[in-house]
Amino acid sequence: MIDVNRRKLVVAAGATLAASTIGNPAWADVAGRKLGYAIVGLGSYGLGRIIPQFKNCEHSRLVALVSGDPAKAKRVAAEYGLAERNIYNYDNYDSIRDNPEIDIVYVCLPVFMHAEYTIRAAKAGKHVMCEKPMAISAAECEAMIAACKTAGKKLMIGYRCHFEPTNLEAIRRARSGDIGKLRYFRSEHGFVQGDPSKWRLKKKLGGGGSLMDMGIYALNAARYMTGEEPISVFATEHTDRKDPRFREVEDMIEFELEFPSGVIGSCMSMYSANQNHIMLMGEKGRIELEPGTSYEGNRLWVGRGRENEITPPPGPGKTQWAAQLDHLSQCVIDNREPIVAGEEGLRDLRIIEAIYRSAREQKRLPLRA
Ligand code: NAD
């Protein structure tokens, strides 16, 4: 079913992230102050990408760290001016419940840890931002959503592209009819994996291979660019199992999504080539992004080929990460649901499970709305 209202919200939220603060008594303690984030996992994304972004935020600040490496945590705390009492480890993590400075926990851990650390955060009375993919399985996603609901806490998934200006402009162009009736979507996402001992190449730790890590960008983009939910999927996997990197997880996987309007989505992910590309074809032209979902330097063309580049200028707006962090803070302040709540992560995981099953059984599978 076409969820146009939700898609409108996505676009609107990207354009007007500075929403007003509503005086709701239940949330009054957070109104008028920056919300405090604890970052769990000081790896390449948590430490390298998220932590430096708080300086660009209006409604969010970094207040605590959770890490298994005390020396690293101490060094990072000193660099960002955090109190040493706000450094936690995986054992004393639950005691964040006694720290009123922490409003939101941001889970930046390997995928197999997402459910546990989200549920423990909710039980400790904290709102949660959890990285993509939301969890190892749809069943885990359901448990995370239930835990946050029971605790009365917000749950948002780190789908940063919903806040990225090039993607937002592409969505707007697709909806405005610039390329006529949409017929076809395609996206390839991948990068070259190296060290076979990394968690992303272990089935139990990553939940799968390139599809979980990179194919999810193509899948999520197929949904937010078309504004529709797919009704069926057919997938094929290509993996050299003799390659030590791919003993446990897939390298290449292709999946075709069928949408209710007749749009066909053709997606692929891989762990043996670098690619980051999104294209929409309509009856009157095409919208193309390359790279489409990178941290920086995304480019956008609209027309018949690449003659008409309309990449939005960087401008003074927030970065995609600052907008993402502030969106959850603003949702907590206003007591409203994030545009990429847990249910959005669950939808992707349900489709991902169907993609894996389709590849195994070599059958087109229907998807529930
Ligand atoms: P990473 O390997 O660089 O960091 C993982 C962190 O978890 C490290 O600090 C590591 O010490 C810690 N950790 C704790 N227990 C561990 C264990 N048993 N095995 C391995 N590490 C353990 O990973 P990353 O690239 O920072 O990814 C973290 C999360 O962020 C993942 O869910 C990933 O999908 C997501 N991510 C999202 C984006 C994005 O653009 N949204 C980009 C990169 C990563």
Residues 303 and 271 reside in one and the same domain:
yes
Is the bond preceding residue 133 a cis peptide, omega within 30 degrees? yes
Least Cα distance to 292 among 132, 166, 157 occurs for: 166
DSSP state of 67: -
Least Cα distance to 285 among 152, 155, 156, 184 occurs for: 184
Whether 342 lines ligand 1, by a CB cut-off of 6 Å, is no
pLDDT of residue 314: 77
Would you say residue 343 lies in a domain?
Answer: no
Q: In sequence order, what are the beta bridge partners of 11?
A: none
Residues 171 and 282 reside in one and the same domain:
yes
Q: Please give the full DSSP string across 2-48, using - where no structure is assigned.
A: --HHHHHHHHHHHH---PPPP--GGGGGGTTSPEEEEEE--STTIII
pLDDT of residue 31: 67
CA 231/CA 79 separation, integer angstroms: 49
Residues 226 and 291 reside in one and the same domain:
yes
Whether 345 lines ligand 1, by a CB cut-off of 6 Å, is no
- Total of domains in the chain: 2
Q: Please give the full DSSP string across 298-338, using - where no structure is assigned.
A: --EEEESSSS-B-PPP--SSPPHHHHHHHHHHHHHHHT---
Q: Are 30 and 154 in contact (CB under 8 A)?
A: no
pLDDT of residue 331: 98
CATH number at residue 362: 3.30.360.10
Residues 26 and 154 reside in one and the same domain:
yes
pLDDT of residue 323: 98
Residues 89 and 182 reside in one and the same domain:
no
Would you say residue 101 lies in a domain?
Answer: yes
Write the CB contacts of 44 (distance below 8 Å, at least 6 apart in sequence): none
**Residue 325 phi, psi dihedral angles, 5° rounding:** -65, -45
Q: How many CB atoms lie within 10 A of CB 85?
A: 10
Residue with tokens 């780190």: 158
What is residue 351's three-state secondary structure?
helix
Residues 40 and 112 reside in one and the same domain:
yes
Q: Are 333 and 27 in contact (CB under 8 A)?
A: yes
Q: Whose CA is nearest to atom 4 of ligand 1?
A: 43
Q: Are 327 and 129 in contact (CB under 8 A)?
A: no
Would you say residue 37 lies in a domain?
Answer: yes
- Look up 198 and say whether it is catalytic: no
- Look up 217 and say whether it is catalytic: yes
- How remote is the CA of residue 231 from the centroid of ligand 1, in Å? 32
- How remote is the CA of residue 218 from the centroid of ligand 1, in Å? 20
Output the pTM of the full model: 0.93
**Containing domain of residue 229, as a range?**
165-313+348-366
Whether 102 lines ligand 1, by a CB cut-off of 6 Å, is no
Would you say residue 46 lies in a domain?
Answer: yes
| From 40, 44, 45, mutation site for ligand 1 pocket: most ligand atoms within 8 A of C-beta | 45
What is residue 56's three-state secondary structure?
helix
Q: Are 285 and 303 in contact (CB under 8 A)?
A: yes
Residues 288 and 203 reside in one and the same domain:
yes
Whether 184 lines ligand 1, by a CB cut-off of 6 Å, is no
Residues 325 and 284 reside in one and the same domain:
no
| Parallel/antiparallel/unpaired status of strands 182-190 and 275-282 | antiparallel
Least Cα distance to 231 among 51, 78, 2, 49 occurs for: 2
Would you say residue 243 lies in a domain?
Answer: yes
Would you say residue 239 lies in a domain?
Answer: yes
Residues 230 and 265 reside in one and the same domain:
yes
CA 259/CA 215 separation, integer angstroms: 18
pLDDT of residue 29: 66
pLDDT in tens, the chain (369 residues): 223 333 333 333 333 333 333 333 345 567 679 999 999 999 999 999 999 999 999 999 999 999 999 999 999 999 999 999 999 999 999 999 999 999 999 999 999 999 999 999 999 999 999 999 999 999 999 999 999 999 999 999 999 999 999 999 999 999 999 999 999 999 999 999 999 999 999 999 999 999 999 999 999 999 999 999 999 999 999 999 999 999 999 999 999 999 999 999 999 999 999 999 999 999 999 999 999 999 999 999 999 999 999 998 877 789 999 999 999 999 999 999 999 999 999 999 999 999 999 999 999 999 987
CA 50/CA 180 separation, integer angstroms: 38
Residues 175 and 117 reside in one and the same domain:
no
Pull the structure tokens for residue 319.
């970065």
pLDDT of residue 32: 77
Would you say residue 153 lies in a domain?
Answer: yes
Q: Are 141 and 134 in contact (CB under 8 A)?
A: yes
CATH number at residue 21: 3.40.50.720
Would you say residue 96 lies in a domain?
Answer: yes
Residues 153 and 24 reside in one and the same domain:
yes
Pull the structure tokens for residue 251.
């390298």
Residue with tokens 């207040």: 63
Residues 211 and 359 reside in one and the same domain:
yes
Q: Whose CA is nearest to atom 38 of ligand 1?
A: 45
